[in-house]
């Protein structure tokens, strides 16, 4: 079974709730899942597998609770070669160009850091999915299968 660390960017709690659902679901399958609170660069480096779950705020920005980690990763550029990662981005398509902007930024950075992107980023539209779990569950099954 896999050891997974969740890194969560949340403004109003929706991404936190989703991360807790993911944790409960994967723990029930026998995986070891921890939510990094607060998220640190050391946790990213030491994680066997990393899953980022983030909402978007402002003009496509990363939420305040995940932003310091993102900036630190950009500044230090720790190579994540062979580290399996995934990104679940929450947003609202009605915001146009900023839709899932935080997830897109995180995904781009992970690719720059040479991480192993197991499954393409999942963008979840709040206008389509009131509860994001409906979209996340099948994606998560494929992500886990790819670890």
Low-confidence ranges of the chain (pLDDT < 50): none
For the chain, how big is the Rg over CA atoms in Å? 14
When divided into structural domains, the chain yields a total of 1
- pLDDT, residue 126, reads 94
What's the pLDDT tens digit per position in 36-47? Answer: 999 999 999 999
Cα-to-chain-centroid distance, residue 130: 19
Helical pair 14-28 and 133-145, crossing angle rounded to 10 deg: 50
Distance, CA of 133 to CA of 147 (rounded, Å): 20
Distance, CA of 56 to CA of 132 (rounded, Å): 14
Distance, CA of 124 to CA of 116 (rounded, Å): 21
User: What is the CATH number for 70?
Assistant: 3.40.50.360
Consecutive H or E run containing 125: strand 122-125
Domain hosting residue 92, numbered range: 3-145
């Amino acid at each position: 079974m896999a050891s997974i660390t969740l890194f969560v960017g949340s403004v109003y709690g929706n991404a936190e709730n989703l991360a807790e659902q993911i944790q409960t679901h994967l723990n029930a399958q026998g995986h070891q899942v921890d939510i990094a609170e607060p998220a640190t660069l050391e946790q990213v480096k030491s994680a066997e597998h990393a899953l980022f779950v983030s909402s978007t705020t402002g003009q496509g920005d990363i939420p305040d609770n995940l932003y310091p980690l993102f900036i630190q990763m950009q500044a230090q550029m720790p190579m994540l070669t062979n580290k399996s990662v995934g990104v679940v981005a929450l947003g609202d398509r009605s915001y146009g160009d900023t839709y899932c902007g935080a997830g897109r930024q995180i995904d781009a950075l992970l690719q720059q850091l040479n991480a192993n992107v197991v499954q393409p980023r999942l963008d979840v539209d709040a206008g389509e999915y009131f509860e994001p779990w409906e979209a996340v569950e099948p994606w998560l099954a494929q992500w886990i299968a790819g670890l």
